[in-house]
Amino acid sequence: MTPHLTTPNGSPVSQFAFGTMQFGGRADASESQSMYDACRTAGINHFDTAYLYTDGNSETLLGGMIATEREKLLIATKVGYTGGAGADNMRAQFDLSRQRLNIDMVDVLYLHRFDPDTDLRETMSCFAELREAGQIRYVGLSNAAAWQTMKAQTVAAEFGLGVNLLQPMYNLVKRQAEVEILPMCADRGIAVAAYSPLGGGLLTGKYDQGASGRLSEDDRYAARYSPEWMADTARSLSDLARELGIEPATLAVAWVAAEKTGPMPIISARNARQLEPSLAALQFAMTKDLYDRLSSLGPTPPPATDRIEEQE
């Protein structure tokens, strides 16, 4: 649980979040509703979307699903991936996001990516005005480096704000967040919502079985997970999963959740059946020995100082 984040009715935020990037795209309305229902049955109350996901269909579909229980949920969206982090662009995208979601207030608003060409004071002033207007409760950054996050924290303080959440990529083959991002967030009290815990499906083992997915359909994901050692790590994970009689996806998501700083995995899928192994990770009892064994399947990134003797 992440006790310093709550839903509007004061309930603690769930250990896992659900990402709706597939809603209205690879997942049609019926499949999207089934996944939402499965998440709610499993106790998930944190749902993540973005202005640009599936041309707005993601926000629109999610908005219809949350209408009857809005106060029980933490709803997050993102702006600024396109058009920059200027106030006018952020407001225009956010206003459309609220219309699609059919809500006046969004719990978390993320800046979707760092914008080096916009003064952070303009960005943080916009966040402050949105919070003062009661349109957001928490400030988030996505895809930000540790130094960018701390720079944003410093500027945000001028407006009585702090960065409340950070959304980095984190999984068994993408562990850069361990070097500075996760320790920084733990030290500063910033919640971590970790996306891509399955590595675009690589860590499910499905590509070795000839299945299709993001890595076979999206050049960006294919490049992101192209190093051969990543495929080797995924095969080793599948071998270990078979040995234990469990799905690789369950192990992969549970490993993310078991990291000592307590990141919240953002799980996702194309349909409810595909989602089941990730949801099963909520109930999986990860031991230290198994966590260490999983960690050893791929390389551990060196410390920030690059002094290997300081690794332990």
Q: Dump pLDDT digits (tens) for 93-102.
A: 999 999 999 9
Residues 203, 173: contact at Cβ < 8 Å? yes
pTM beyond 0.85, yes or no: yes
Residues 170, 142: contact at Cβ < 8 Å? no
| Cα–Cα distance, 201 to 170 (Å, whole number) | 13
| Cα–Cα distance, 103 to 113 (Å, whole number) | 24
Residue 305 has pLDDT above 90, yes or no: no
Rounded average pLDDT over 108-117 = 97
| Cα–Cα distance, 38 to 21 (Å, whole number) | 16
Residue 3 has pLDDT above 90, yes or no: no
Q: How confident is the model at residue 246 (pLDDT cuts 50, 70, 90)?
A: very high
At which residue do the structure tokens 């960690």 appear? Answer: 295
What is the residue type of 9?
N
| Cα–Cα distance, 49 to 40 (Å, whole number) | 16
- Using DSSP's 3-state secondary structure scheme, residue 224 falls into helix
Please name which of 181, 228, 179, 176 lies closest in space to residue 202, comparing C-alpha atoms. Answer: 228
Bridge partners, 194 (sequence order): 265
The token duo for 272 is 């409810």
What is the tens place of the pLDDT at every residue in 181-228? 999 999 999 999 999 999 999 999 988 777 777 777 788 888 999 999
Predicted pLDDT at 74:
98
Radius of gyration of the chain (CA): 19
Q: Is the dihedral of CA 172, 257, 149, 183 positive or negative?
A: negative
Catalytic site positions: 53
What is the residue type of 102?
N
Half-sphere exposure of 55 (CA within 13 A, CB side): 3
| Fold of the CATH domain 2-201+248-285 | TIM Barrel (3.20.20)
Question: 3 or 289: which carries more pLDDT confidence?
Answer: 289
| Cα–Cα distance, 133 to 34 (Å, whole number) | 34
